[in-house]
Amino acid sequence: MRLLRLTTLLAGAFSALLQAAPVVAPPALADDRGTRIERLAPERVAAISTFAADSLVALGVTPVGASTFGDRAVPDFLGPAMAQVPSLGQRASTNLELLSELQPELILAIRRYTEPHARQFETIAPFYAFDVIGYDDSLRAVAGIAAALGQADAGRALNDAFEAKVADYAARAPGGIRAVLLAGSGEAPFAYYDHFLSTDLLGRLGATNATGPSPTSDQAIPFGYQISLEQLLALNPDVIFMFASSTRHAYADNPIWPHLEAVQNGRVYEVGLHWKEGGGPIARNLILEEMAWRLYPKHFEQPQVPAEIASRTFR
């Protein structure tokens, strides 16, 4: 009897504690300017970056305006949804007059390119900006944009699906290969550190980024450095990924270039500019698929990639 009473008293006390405990709300989302993200559910959204346009299209929203993508007016690799979208110019020099005329209800951007004009953007519409450099940045920013659109569950689903795919690819990748990602077309290319999204994916696929980690690991920028051909030869990666350019890559004319193992084995690949701003759900998926295939062609099939951004062997 005493045991029954004691059990009843403890159960009642525990129930009272649970009822008295405060309900902890989930942490508020914020962009990388520290602005709290509100659920706006807008119909008219402007994208001042390929990443923002990508995230919108992936969530079923056609932007009212978007930044240029390389030499293209807008990132048309995102599909038919972009066909009639006006170009807002380069992401660092947005056409503010046109942006205002489009009457957006929300503006989404990359922070480092738009910070000087943040106040001007805010006079037009609510403005959220993100520093999308690495893998985790991509997940966080997609979640933030989805929340602002009133589609938090859809954003979570996109991130979950991507992480599951990365895990699946990682399990299938044999590893044991070294690679670099190069940008620029001058005498000395720019090589990316480990924490950049595309080079982060190298590591998740079992490859080693020969460039290695940033010496200032507590800072996201810089995310790479100018590398001489002598330094590149010392690293001598098995695979070289390089951004496509409208002009000849001058460093490829250096007499050292033919001595690189990747060059000798025909494993130098020009990749699309989406590898440079690949934080959106569509671009990051394309990068993962194409990177896995190029690294391990015996283990992964050639993916379907829009022709204008598909990688090709550099000759």
C-alpha span between 313 and 150 (Å, rounded):
42
Block means of pLDDT (10 residues each) for the chain, length 315 residues? 41 45 57 94 95 97 95 92 95 94 97 92 96 96 97 98 98 98 96 97 98 89 94 98 92 97 98 95 98 98 95 95
Domain ranges of the chain: 45-165, 174-313
Q: Is the dihedral of CA 103, 277, 315, 187 positive or negative?
A: positive
Instruction: Tell me the chain's radius of gyration from C-alpha atoms.
Output: 23
Q: Looking at residue 28, what is its pLDDT?
A: 74
Measured from the Cβ of residue 112, the count of other Cβ atoms closer than 10 Å reads 17
- Tokens representing 245 are 């350019």
Measured from the Cβ of residue 313, the count of other Cβ atoms closer than 10 Å reads 10
Q: Looking at residue 220, what is its pLDDT?
A: 82
Architecture of domain 174-313: 3-Layer(aba) Sandwich (3.40)
Q: Which residues contact 130 (CB under 8 A, 6 or more apart)?
A: 31, 32, 51, 108, 109, 110, 111, 137, 140, 141, 144, 145, 279
Identify the burial level of 201 via C-beta atoms within 10 angstroms of its C-beta, where 0-12 means exposed, 13-18 middle and 19 or more buried. Answer: buried
Q: Looking at residue 219, what is its pLDDT?
A: 84
C-alpha span between 129 and 108 (Å, rounded):
6
- Tokens representing 111 are 């922070």
Q: Looking at residue 50, what is its pLDDT?
A: 95
C-alpha span between 221 and 218 (Å, rounded):
9
Biggest CA pair distance of the chain: 93
Q: Looking at residue 138, what is its pLDDT?
A: 97
Q: Is the dihedral of CA 258, 261, 263, 264 positive or negative?
A: positive
* Fold match, 45-165 / 174-313: yes
45-165 to CATH, choices 3.50.50.60, 3.40.50.300, 3.40.50.1980, 3.40.50.720:
3.40.50.1980
Task: Supply the pTM of this predicted model.
Answer: 0.89
Q: Looking at residue 27, what is its pLDDT?
A: 60
- Tokens representing 90 are 């380069």
Identify the burial level of 154 via C-beta atoms within 10 angstroms of its C-beta, where 0-12 means exposed, 13-18 middle and 19 or more buried. Answer: middle
